[in-house]
Chain A
Amino acid sequence: MGWFKRITNTFRSNKLQRDLEEELRHHLDLRTADYEGSGMTPDEARLAATRQFGNPTLEKERARTMDISAWLETLLKDLRYAARQFLRNPVFTIVAVLSLAIGIGANTSIFSLMNAVLLRSLPVHDPHELVALTDPNTAGVSVGLSSGERGLMSYAEYEQIRDHAKSFSGLCVVEAELDRWQVRIHGAGPEDARPKLVSENYFSVLGVEPFIGRVFNVEDAHAPGQNPYVVLSYDYWKNRFGGNASALGTPIRILGTTYSVIGVAAPGFHGENISEYPDFWLPMMMQPSVMPGRDWLREDLSKNFEKVMWLHAFGRLAPGVTLAKAQAEVDVLFKNIIENGYPSTLSPETRKEALDQKLKLREASTGAFGGREDFAQQLMILLGASGVVLLIACINVANLLLARASARNKEVGVRLSIGASRGRLVRQFLTESLLLAFMGGMVGLLIAWGGSHLFAALLAGNRDRFDLNTSLDLRVLAFTMGISLLTGILFGLTPALRGTRVNLNDSLRDGERATASSGRLNLAKGLVVLQMGLSLLAITGAGLLLRTLWNLQAVDVGYPKEKLLLVGVDGTTAGYKGPQLTALWRDLTARLQSLPGVTGATYSINGLFSGSESADVVEVEGFTPQTQKDRGSRFDLIGPAYFSTVGVPMLRGREIGQQDTAAAPRVVVINEAFAKKFFAGRDPMGRHITERFGDHKAIYEVVGVARNLRDHNLKTDVFPRFYVSGEQGMEGPNEFATFEIRTAGDPRQMFEGIRKTILSVNQDLQLDPLRTLTENLDRTTAQPRMMARLCTLFGLVALLLAATGLYGVLSYAVTRRTNEIGVRMALGAGRGQVVSMILRETGIMILIGALVGVAGSAGLAKLIQSRLFGLKTLDPVTITTALAILAFVALVAGYIPAMRAARVNPVRALRHE
């Protein structure tokens, strides 16, 4: 029958049914009349006619299966029947729905994060047309000589591509980092705001309209410092300005320049980065005004080969231009830019290195997100873990349904014997499991609704403000429906097929025999074994990540971690230059040192675990480099008494002191790793190290060797590093300093005093947020910690679900074997023997499950190897502990049914037989 007819039938269903009934009645009446005519009594005639006709209801059913309304009606009937069944077994229903909800909720939460990070398009015009010229998965500012594929670009590079490329209908740039500045709005006191610099065509290229006022246009790109305007984000306008149209024209003061609000961007738009929420945008031309002393709009090629790469470039391809064609054009352009982008004095080697740079175009509909790949990898691991939880939940529900199916043996037998087809019953069973899955999915969505926010917050790790849009959109809903359906079929099909394969003779006879369902028990046990294996996998994974975290936390950094606080101070933005900077650092150090409660203060440019790093090319006296890697070393510029303040002992010589001024001979302290690599047994004291950067160079004499200290990462070996006095730096005095301050008591109590002390020197000094070293370390280990926590959570849930499953199956087995146990006890078996018999079965299941689990864990460990630290791939401690936990939980779950078996009263059990 064609679909069209089937559908038209739906609309005339009732009429169809009435017609059919009338027709059949007509037939029966005529036949009855015939028989009456041949001499039967009316009753006999009716009976004979009916018999000859067959079963009218059945025929009616068969005729009616043909239309879709009947199909829907059957579905409704099945659903009502299923609902009645569920209401009659509330415990079963709640356990099943909750297990599924936990599994589906966990998966949906993780998926909604993946959706936000990997799948969802930016809320801009035609997001699929967007291309990025830089790598939208990176963030920050990179200063120096880059090589290979470019993550970011400089403003000068952008200008040249914008002016010459013909492949794009528009090309814009935006800062690759969200700033945090002190601003004064309408003369009010200073407050924190998060602005972003964008090129004047940013909004038009992305296709974002103003909500009120205007967005930037070509007028806003006159000249550096000449366009003091801001566009507010819709959220900021709502929150800070109460959504008031009078916000237009409001003066906002940032570092001595007053900006005027010219518009509010469209609602929902929060920039090209999916995890950042800028408060407002400023025209690119204002860069020198908001970062005084640093002009990143111009590159002075004659002086420097350092480039400041701080921008992401996004564009739209011109009509008819393919990505490959645009790539070819950009390749040519960029090669030209690079060739002319470095001073002619560059050494041939450096020049060769510099020329090895490339821009890679990529589709950018999902916007920018620093660290996307790493984040996605974590999500994959979590999705795996939550998948295991869901699988275990499915098996639980399958087992529950199997148990119920055998309890319903008789019902099924009756229904089959009065003419229900097996397909009809399978359908009824499947409807029940799908309804269960659907209910689980609904509750799961509720869990996911809260869960996704929680997970997003947990996974934010060391990001300052991390706000992913994890709202449950259609894609997430489709995912939830999809996995609900899949799980419904997954856990429902086997019980449905098994439950309807009924031997009518057996099932209708009164006694339910243990032997009748031994097949079911074997299947159930097999499923429990699988559950054991899966939960072992989950707890091993959690264990590996936990041990990784503990190993990281136990790493010796080489100095006391407590009572040390750090604060970054920027001298350049406040207007300090040259010798003024030297004076500033001396002044600040002295003031901080004399604060009550401070036992020592020094500084370094990179700080400790604060995410900044420096490296340069070095030539070491008496050392011949073998590879390119031998030519470089990391370094830091430090203040006097750095090592004694931080707490690192000197192994040889002296540390950097106050005497090491710009006028004094240049000296250097090296760490053990540097001594080992570059001096390898020779005495480093008094030897010379040449630092090179481009055509700058400085020669230092080694005056000390310090013990290794960890300053930026916990995982790898300590890198060779040399330490130079901040006043003797190759590029002049340091513009920026991170103060390391030792306190007598809790460093957190000192925050306010230290902030005030620094600002008392100059109100305009820009401070990074104050942090203790332990806070910085916590941020370094934030992601492993969150992964460990989440995976532990999933592991525990998996274990709990598996234990429930084991308990259920064993309880069922004991009930089924009441007779057998009764016979054994009547024949003289003691309680202990009965208990050990049941526990032996448990033991066998655990053993097989453990084997499966260990094999799986070996594969798992390999998969997550890159996230492990200080562990062999298959860590014996973790595996043993996981096995012990599993065995313990399983034995507890098995002990209760075993005890119940031991309490079987042999007399009653046998009477039952």
Chain B
Amino acid sequence: MGKHSNDRLQGTLDLLVLKSLACLGPMHGYGISNHIQSIAGDALRVEEGSLYPALHRMAQEGWILAEWRPSDNNRRARYYALTAAGKKQLAAEQRRWDELTHAVSRVLSFA
């Protein structure tokens, strides 16, 4: 599977997940989804179901590390933590995102 650098939407979800993990440390899927939603509000709706394939894929790419740990409610939950490769990927994704938004805003402000 390739690196999805052209797939903006996928890249966006990756970026959000990586950023969340970078800021808050290891979290389970539910926590990530809650965090994104609480910050972005209704403006950015992430379909929760699509989060898990993304997590799975990123784990396969080696950007995040998955680990089962007991959670608050005495159940086992899978926690995801950022890896070194993930940090690099985050930086790259962020840079790409910035370039894109700059480009878009430049186009939009040209009038």
Interface residues of A (CB under 8 A from B): 1, 5, 19-20, 22-24, 26-27, 29-31, 33, 52-56, 58-59, 62-63, 66
Contacts and interface: CB of A to CB of B under 8 A. Distances in A.
Contacts of A22: 76, 78
Interface in B42-74: 47-50, 52-53, 56-57, 60-61, 68, 71, 73
Nearest to B61: A1
A581 to B, nearest CB: 89
24 contacts: A1-B1, A1-B60, A5-B60, A19-B78, A20-B56, A22-B76, A22-B78, A23-B29, A23-B78, A26-B28, A26-B29, A26-B75, A27-B28, A27-B29, A27-B48, A27-B52, A31-B30, A52-B48, A53-B48, A54-B47, A56-B49, A63-B56, A66-B1, A66-B60
Contacts of A66: 1, 56-57, 60
Contacts of B53: 59, 62-63
Interface string B16-57: 000000000000111001000000000000011110110011
B49 A55 contact: yes
B81 interface: no
Contacts of B60: 1, 5, 66
Nearest to B45: A52
Nearest to B47: A54
B40 to A, nearest CB: 15
B67 to A, nearest CB: 11
B48 A31 contact: yes
Given A27-B30, A58-B49, 11 more contacts: A1-B57, A1-B60, A23-B78, A26-B71, A26-B78, A27-B28, A27-B52, A30-B30, A30-B73, A66-B56, A66-B60
B104 to A, nearest CB: 28
B13 interface: no
A53 B78 contact: no
The 4 closest A-B pairs by CB, nearest first: A54-B49, A59-B49, A63-B53, A30-B30
Nearest to A49: B48
A63 B54 CA distance: 8
Interface in B1-19: 1
Of residues A20, A22, A24, A59, which shows the largest number of chain B Cβ atoms within 10 Å of its Cβ? A59
Nearest to A55: B49
A22 B75 CA distance: 10
Interface residues of B, number: 22
Contact of B48 (A1, A29, A54, A63): A54
B34 to A, nearest CB: 8
A54 B51 CA distance: 11
Given A63-B56, A66-B1, A66-B60, A26 B49 contact: no
A63 B30 contact: no
A59 B52 contact: yes
Contacts of A19: 68, 78
Contacts of B77: 23, 26
A587 to B, nearest CB: 93
Contacts of B71: 26
Contacts of A20: 52, 56
Contact of B33 (A27, A29, A55): A27
Contacts of B49: 53-56, 58-59
B56 to A, nearest CB: 5
A22 B30 CA distance: 12
B29 to A, nearest CB: 5
A734 to B, nearest CB: 85
Given A20-B56, A59-B53, A66-B56, A26 B30 contact: yes
B53, B61, B76, B78 interface centre (most CB from chain A within 10 Å): B53
A23 B29 CA distance: 8
Contacts of A52: 48
A59 B33 contact: no
A60 to B, nearest CB: 8
A52 B33 CA distance: 11
A206 to B, nearest CB: 54
Contact of B50 (A5, A30, A33, A54): A54
Nearest to B32: A27
Question: Which of A27, A31, A33, A62 counts the most B-chain CB atoms under 10 A from its CB?
Answer: A27
A148 B67 CA distance: 82
Contacts of B76: 22, 26
A19 B73 CA distance: 18
A62 B1 CA distance: 14
Contacts of B47: 53-54
A605 B48 CA distance: 98
A63 B1 contact: no
B47 to A, nearest CB: 5
B52 A23 contact: yes
A26 B74 CA distance: 11
Nearest to A27: B30
A813 B61 CA distance: 54
Contacts of B30: 26-27, 30-31
Contacts of B56: 20, 63, 66
A24 B52 contact: yes
B79 to A, nearest CB: 10
A22 B1 CA distance: 26
Contacts of B50: 54, 59
A24 B28 CA distance: 11
A23 B48 CA distance: 12
Contacts of A5: 60
Contacts of B28: 23, 26-27
Contacts of B29: 23, 26-27
Nearest to B48: A53
A677 B52 CA distance: 96
A54 B61 CA distance: 25
A1 B2 CA distance: 7
A24 B55 CA distance: 12
Nearest to B60: A1
A197 B30 CA distance: 88
Contacts of A24: 52
